[in-house]
Amino acid sequence: MNKKRVFSGIQPTGQIHLGNYLGAVKNWVDSQSEYENIFCVVNSHAITTAQNPVELREKTYQLASMLLACGIDMKKSSLFIQSEIDEHPSLAWILDCNISMGEMNRMTQFKDKSLKNPTNVNVGLFNYPALMAADILLYQADGVPVGEDQKQHLELTRNVAMKFNRDFGECFKIPEPIIPKVGARVMGLDDPNNKMSKSALGTNHAIFLLDTPEEITKKIKKATTDSLNSIVFDKNRAGLYNLLNIYQILTNKSTEAIEKDFEGKGYGLFKSAVAEVIIENLRPIREKYQELSAEKGYIEEILKTGTQKVRPIAKATYDKVKELVGLI
């Protein structure tokens, strides 16, 4: 029985933090035996904001190394760099010509990012969803893991694929959203009402995968909680709930077991336990990353192999699209 194909992409901007790992990357790693996975470092998406070219290249390889350190297995999955396959922007152009301005204008991320960076509101940022759709549709993906902030873009991808199939002939699979069972939203330690982010200001907002044990302990100790003493899963107590959610994902313990373990105990002991479990889970990742990052030639070979593996899929899809729209 053939496995369903899943496409996932991540931008090489900033360090991977605990929210990225628990909300996405850990689920990617854990599902490698369940799906045929295609993982992509989407560096072309990164240039919608100003990038230093030297730093962007370096961050691209760093991210690839980190994904491998987290457990992406090239025997089970494919990993490649988006810009190495020219069919991505080529298909995006054809999709651009089949997406209405009205649909693009409804994309809330464009509005949000434009407000955050008003001095660089470029056409690429506006057309970002078309390139994202091309990323997915090129590989005839059955599913795409998505968080809350990407649901709208996937819906656009589904709509443009269905419209294209209707207008030009059957071509694209219609991808389904894959919603993680747990860990879809890890919140900021200093502001548990907002999702943990690479770009947020504040030294105690996020835990990064390369943080030292001392840094992790310090950040967890300063994490926002409340003045109540009971340690229970209560969504109305956002700070505590966020820490409990992190602890639960990393320990695989039930809600009942965790509440029993910390019954009658204070925040100090609880936070120490959370810090310890984060440190122990991230230790092998940090050690593997340090080992891999010293072998750039090895990473380049892995990425080259990944590109060679997926390029025929992208080419076959794009060639069919060109034929259907009359470009060949």
Q: Number of folded domains in the chain?
A: 2
Q: What does the alpha-carbon distance between residue 195 and residue 210 come to, in Å, rounded to a whole number?
A: 20
Tell me: do 104 and 172 sit in the same domain.
yes
What is the domain extent for residue 231? 213-290
- Assess if residue 255 is contained within a domain: yes
Domain assignment present for residue 312? The answer is: yes
Q: Are residues 118 and 237 in the same domain?
A: no
> Which position among 163, 198, 288, 296 bears the catalytic label?
198
Residues 162 and 235 placed together within one structural domain of the fold = no
Radius of gyration for the alpha carbons in the chain, expressed in angstroms and rounded: 21
* pLDDT digits 0-9 by tens, 250-265: 999 999 999 999 999 9
Residues 312 and 284 in one domain: no
DSSP codes, 231-286: ----TTSHHHHHHHHHHHHHH---HHHHHHHTTT--HHHHHHHHHHHHHHHHHHHH
Does any domain span residue 194?
no
Give yes or no: residues 11 and 109 share one domain: yes
Here the CATH number for the domain that contains residue 54 is 3.40.50.620
Q: Are residues 157 and 286 in the same domain?
A: no
Cα–Cα dist 8/102, whole Å: 27
Task: State pLDDT tens for residues 74-114.
Answer: 999 999 999 999 999 999 999 999 999 988 888 877 777 77
**Residue 205 belongs to a domain:** no
Q: Residue 200 — pLDDT band, cuts 50, 70, 90?
A: confident
pLDDT tens digit string along 151-199? 788 999 999 999 999 999 999 999 999 876 655 679 999 999 998 987 7
Is 315 labeled as catalytic in the residue annotation? Answer: no
Average pLDDT over residues 263-280: 96
Please indicate, yes or no, if residue 206 is contained in any of the structural domains. no
Residue 196 included in any domain? no
Q: Is residue 306 part of a domain?
A: yes
Domain assignment present for 199: no
- What predicted TM-score, i.e. pTM, was given to this entire model? 0.90
Catalytic residue, candidates 26, 59, 113, 219: 113
Among the options 4, 76, 163, 195, which is catalytic?
Answer: 195
Asked about 219 being catalytic, the answer comes back as: no
What is the CATH number for 286? 1.10.240.10
Could you tell me if 143 and 14 lie in one domain? yes
- Helix axis angle for 151-168 and 296-325, nearest 10°, is 40
**Is 218 an active-site residue?**
no
